[in-house]
């Protein structure tokens, strides 16, 4: 097993039905960032599978991918291309 003493990994203790305790190493979820400027995206949930995908991020185009400033640039570029 590789080193588990890392800030990006989380140790998970699980008991099997037979009572045997095992340890998992799970990666911690990072902060969602903008695909262009790498700024942290507000309004985007970190949790992996507890919330529906549509409820995790803004419902506008590029929601959850680009920040508001970067998506505004893309909206303008798309409107000018037409
Ligand atoms: Zn951005």
pLDDT digits (tens, 9 = 90+) for 55-77: 778 888 998 899 999 999 999 99
Position with higher pLDDT, 71 vs 19: 71
Provide the Cα torsion 37, 28, 26, 66; round to 10°: -30
DSSP per-residue codes, 4-56: ---TTEEEEEEE-TTS-EEEEEEEPPPPPB-TTT-PBPTT----SSSS-GGGS
- Cα–Cα distance measured from residue 76 to residue 80, given in angstroms and rounded to the nearest whole number: 6
Average pLDDT, the chain: 83
Question: Across-strand partners of 76?
Answer: none
* 22 Cα–ligand 1 center, Å: 41
Residues with CB in 5 Å of ion ligand 1 = 34, 36-37, 67, 70
Domains in the chain: boundaries: 1-30, 31-82
State the distance from the centre of ligand 1 to the C-alpha of 26, rounded, in angstroms.
28
Whole-prediction pTM value? 0.61
């Amino acid at each position: 097993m590789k080193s588990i003493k890392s800030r990006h990994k989380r140790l998970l203790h699980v008991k099997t039905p037979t009572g045997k305790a095992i340890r998992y190493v799970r990666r911690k979820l990072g902060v969602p960032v903008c695909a262009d400027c790498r700024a942290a995206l507000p309004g985007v949930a970190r949790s992996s599978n507890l919330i529906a995908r549509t409820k995790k991020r803004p419902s506008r185009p590029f929601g959850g991918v680009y920040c508001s400033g970067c998506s505004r640039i893309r909206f303008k570029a798309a409107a000018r291309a037409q």
